[in-house]
């Protein structure tokens, strides 16, 4: 919170404080949202003195965009790699214009918000884009209805000053009304965007008071994901066309004050297209550029085109930051879906987000990308790419010259021989852009020192003796149920003779190892796995048997009511030489309870491998990443494995 002493500091000192807070909070990442701008209606009951977005019915072919028009724009945006569908619209036009009321009534909608809910639902269902509803001052029932179809919502507070001339003909701009909307969104756990306008006639103290109110509301509800600081620019055709633009120094100072006043977890955005030199914004506390559309113009500021992604990246990197795409919902909220996102939107958010909650860099499906015209296909600077796509691999990492801050310190510490702790590992695993090159360079150096430059491999054959499994891992596409249940395909169970024949065939082809794994068949007891190992050894006595997951070993011992060490020794006597690391998935019970709830827990998995090591077996460890976990869970997994290695060698 801002005290008088800080408030009265020279601007350059404010800028330094704000920049420091921003770096401590978000390191060197600057985000933007690849979006499409959908102006559902330009009718509005408010008449703000600075607005060129709203228009009267006489200038419009139709009061509202049709669902077909909305979906056409959304489909184009999907092809261009957008994640967000930003619905911007005038506030409650049906209360002012008969044409709007009749258009809605003819289609059985009671209000503009009812229609917005419907088209938002269509966009999610038909395109997978995540709507952001920017519908103005709303009531609780309206906010709640939109929560099921929009991943986030927003409304600019604009100013807490009730006497601004530009708002005198705008009943929805009454400060108390807008403050109430922000609070109600917090009660409903809606990730929310708000902000203030700078230069519309308000005082410096009014700006500070507006920011303090936003901060207080967030302290109560924790739902404000970003605050936009937007500078006023006069536009022809408005009552404020002769009003002077917001002075740059006041605009930059307001950004810095926002960064200092607001809780550090709130993101600060300033639109890049409203500043001639938007690099300056990065020096005073912002960490987000807002939505940038490759498809539609900025309908609110049509005279100011968005910078293209290449220029945005160049400017961002020139100031020492990494540019990262995000969703309409920020990473802190996308990483906590149960609290902040309607269950109806959980999978659409997961589909588009990466492990840290940012936007995936490869959102397009193959069938979409292969149908694009040459002019539509991704360039080398575009992040729309996936393995196997026909387009070029994007050039995302250009240099290491800007590495600094926490990641530089962590890399230096490890290079000097310090053991990486959980904080360092999470920094490494959350690296983006050129940071990834720095982490990879250190990892490659450590590998070289540990094992030299030899890269090994093994001639191996996998033998999965059954795909029938009694466990219900939520990610599994391998296991099959009984034929009577018609689940996913045909179940099978190999006979011992077939297993032996496959081992012999592998050996003739040059294999020196077989990997034995399968589902947990309801009819198996622990002796089944011992019989499999014996069948393999009898078929090819000198082949290396790498087999049986920790789950299979645990279940085998459990069904025989035999101690783990005794059971593992009998497997060794039958020919088992090493254990695979599968069934580990993510060694964190917070994740396992959702990913594989009836499977062995973390400690049980570790105990199988600990016991195996103690009886003379060696094992691998695997990690299945990229489902519902986050970097902190990878860190826990890796540290548990490192501790096991220290304990057992």
Q: Which residues contact 588 (CB under 8 A, 6 or more apart)?
A: 602, 629, 633, 636, 637
pLDDT of residue 381: 44
For residue 615, what are the contacts with CB-CB under 8 A and spacing of at least 6? 565, 568, 569, 572
pLDDT tens column, 506-518: 999 999 999 999 9
DSSP E strands, 520-624: 544-547, 576-579, 618-619
Q: Which of 314-328, 370-384, 464-478, 588-602 has the lowest mean pLDDT?
A: 370-384
Contact criterion met (CB below 8 Å) for 394 and 360: no
The 3-class SS string of 472-523 reads: CCCCCCCCECCHHHCCCCCCCECCHHHHHHHHHHHHHCCCCEEEEECCCCCC
Residues 6+ apart with CB under 8 A from 313: 323, 381
CB 325: neighbour CB atoms within 10 A? Answer: 23
User: Which is more confident, 510 or 628?
Assistant: 510
**Run of H or E residues at 325:** strand 322-325
| 452-464 CB burial, b ≥16 within 10 A, e <16 | eeeeeeeeebebe
- Work out the widest C-alpha separation in the chain, in whole angstroms: 93
- What's the confidence (pLDDT) of residue 470? 87
User: Has residue 5 got a pLDDT over 80?
Assistant: no
Structure tokens at 148: 């099921």
CA angle, residues 225, 231, 233, in degrees to nearest 5 = 140
Which token pair is 214?
A: 């936003």
Paired strand residues for 619? 579
Top-confidence residue, 307 or 568: 568
What is the C-alpha to C-alpha distance for residues 25 and 461, in angstroms, rounded to an integer?
A: 49
Taking the CA of residue 384 as centre, how many other CA atoms within 13 Å lie in the half-sphere pointing to its CB? 23
Share of the chain above pLDDT 90, in %: 81
The CA-based dihedral angle spanning residues 554, 557, 562, 563, taken in that order and rounded to the nearest 10 degrees? -30
Give mean pLDDT, residues 424-440. Answer: 91
Mean pLDDT is lowest, of 310-314, 427-431, 474-478, 632-636, for: 474-478
pLDDT band at 484 (very low <50, low <70, confident <90, very high): very low
Which band of pLDDT confidence, cut at 50, 70 and 90, is reported for residue 304?
confident
Q: Which residues contact 520 (CB under 8 A, 6 or more apart)?
A: 469, 470, 471, 551, 552, 555
Q: Which residues contact 519 (CB under 8 A, 6 or more apart)?
A: 466, 467, 468, 469, 470, 471, 478, 479, 480
Q: Return the beta strands (E) in 237-320 as ranges.
A: 267-269, 288-292
CATH 3.20.20.70, applies to 4-352: yes
* 393 class by beta-carbon count within 10 Å (0-12 exposed, 13-18 middle, 19+ buried): exposed
Report the SS3 class of residue 35.
strand
Rounded average pLDDT over 600-607: 97
Q: Scan for tokens 């026909």, then name that residue.
A: 390
Pick the range with the lowest mean pLDDT from 33-42, 300-309, 348-357.
300-309
Q: How confident is the model at residue 374 (pLDDT cuts 50, 70, 90)?
A: low
Q: Which fold has domain 460-648?
A: TIM Barrel (3.20.20)
Domain residue extents for the chain: 4-352, 405-451, 460-648
What mean pLDDT, rounded, does the chain reach?
91
Same fold across 4-352 and 460-648:
yes
Instruction: Taking the CA atoms of 293, 298, 299 and 300 in sequence, report the sign of the dihedral they define.
Output: positive
- Dihedral sign for Cα 385, 360, 324, 427, please: negative
């Amino acid at each position: 919170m801002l005290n008088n002493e800080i408030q009265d500091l020279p601007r350059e000192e404010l800028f330094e404080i704000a920049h420091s807070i921003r770096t401590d909070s978000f390191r060197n990442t600057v985000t933007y949202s690849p979006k499409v701008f959908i102006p559902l209606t330009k009718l509005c009951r408010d008449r703000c003195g600075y607005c060129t977005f709203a228009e009267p019915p006489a200038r419009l072919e139709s009061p509202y965009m049709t669902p077909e028009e909305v979906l056409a724009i959304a489909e184009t945006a999907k092809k261009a790699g957008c994640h967000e569908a930003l619905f911007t619209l005038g506030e409650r036009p049906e209360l002012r214009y008969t044409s709007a009321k009749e258009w809605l009534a003819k289609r059985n909608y009671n209000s503009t918000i009812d229609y917005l809910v419907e088209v938002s639902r269509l966009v999610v269902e038909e395109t997978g884009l995540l709507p952001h509803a920017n519908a103005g001052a709303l009531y609780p029932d309206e906010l709640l209805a939109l929560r099921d179809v929009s991943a986030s919502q927003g409304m600019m507070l604009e100013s807490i000053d009730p006497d601004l001339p530009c708002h005198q003909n705008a009943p929805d701009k009454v400060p108390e009304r807008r403050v109430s909307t922000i609070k109600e969104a917090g009660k409903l756990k809606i990730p929310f965007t708000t902000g203030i306008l700078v230069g519309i006639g308000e005082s410096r103290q009014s700006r500070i008071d507006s920011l303090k109110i936003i901060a207080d509301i967030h302290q109560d509800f924790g739902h404000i994901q970003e605050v936009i600081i937007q500078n006023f620019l006069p536009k022809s055709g408005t009552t404020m066309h002769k009003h002077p633009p917001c002075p740059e120094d006041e605009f930059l100072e307001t950004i810095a004050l926002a960064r200092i006043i607001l809780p550090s977890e709130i993101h600060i955005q300033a639109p890049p297209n409203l500043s001639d030199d938007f690099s300056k914004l990065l020096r005073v506390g912002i960490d987000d550029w807002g939505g940038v559309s490759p498809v539609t113009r900025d309908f609110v500021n049509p005279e100011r085109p968005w910078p293209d992604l290449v220029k945005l990246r160049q400017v961002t990197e020139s100031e020492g930051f990494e540019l990262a795409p995000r969703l309409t919902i920020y990473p802190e909220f996308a990483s906590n879906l149960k609290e902040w996102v309607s269950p109806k939107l959980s999978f659409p958010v997961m589909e588009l987000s990466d492990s840290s909650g940012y936007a995936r860099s490869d959102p397009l499906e193959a069938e979409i990308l292969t149908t694009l015209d040459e002019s539509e296909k991704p360039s080398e600077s575009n992040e729309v790419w996936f393995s196997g796509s026909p387009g070029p691999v994007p050039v995302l990492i250009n240099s290491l010259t800007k590495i600094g801050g926490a990641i530089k310190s962590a890399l230096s510490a490890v290079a000097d021989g310090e053991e990486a702790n959980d904080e360092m590992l999470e920094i490494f695993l959350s690296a983006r852009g050129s940071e990834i090159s720095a982490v990879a360079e250190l990892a490659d150096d450590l590998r070289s020192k540990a094992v030299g430059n030899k890269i090994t491999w093994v001639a191996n054959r996998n033998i999965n003796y059954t795909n029938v499994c009694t466990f219900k891992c939520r990610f599994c596409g391998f296991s099959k149920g009984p034929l009577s249940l018609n689940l996913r395909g045909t179940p099978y169970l190999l006979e011992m003779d077939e297993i032996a024949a496959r081992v012999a065939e592998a050996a003739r082809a040059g294999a020196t190892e077989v990997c034995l794994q399968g589902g947990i068949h309801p009819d198996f007891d622990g002796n089944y796995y011992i019989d499999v190992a014996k069948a393999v050894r009898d078929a090819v006595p000198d082949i290396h048997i790498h087999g049986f997951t920790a789950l299979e070993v645990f279940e085998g011992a459990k069904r025989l009511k035999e101690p783990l060490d005794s059971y593992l020794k009998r497997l060794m006597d039958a020919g088992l030489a090493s254990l695979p690391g599968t069934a580990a998935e993510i060694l964190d019970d917070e994740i396992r309870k959702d990913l594989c709830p009836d499977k062995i827990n973390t400690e049980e998995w570790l105990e199988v491998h600990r016991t195996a090591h103690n009886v003379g077996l060696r094992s691998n460890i695997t990690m299945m990443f990229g489902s519902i976990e986050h970097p902190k869970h990878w860190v826990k997994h890796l540290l548990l494995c490192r501790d096991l290695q220290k304990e057992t060698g």
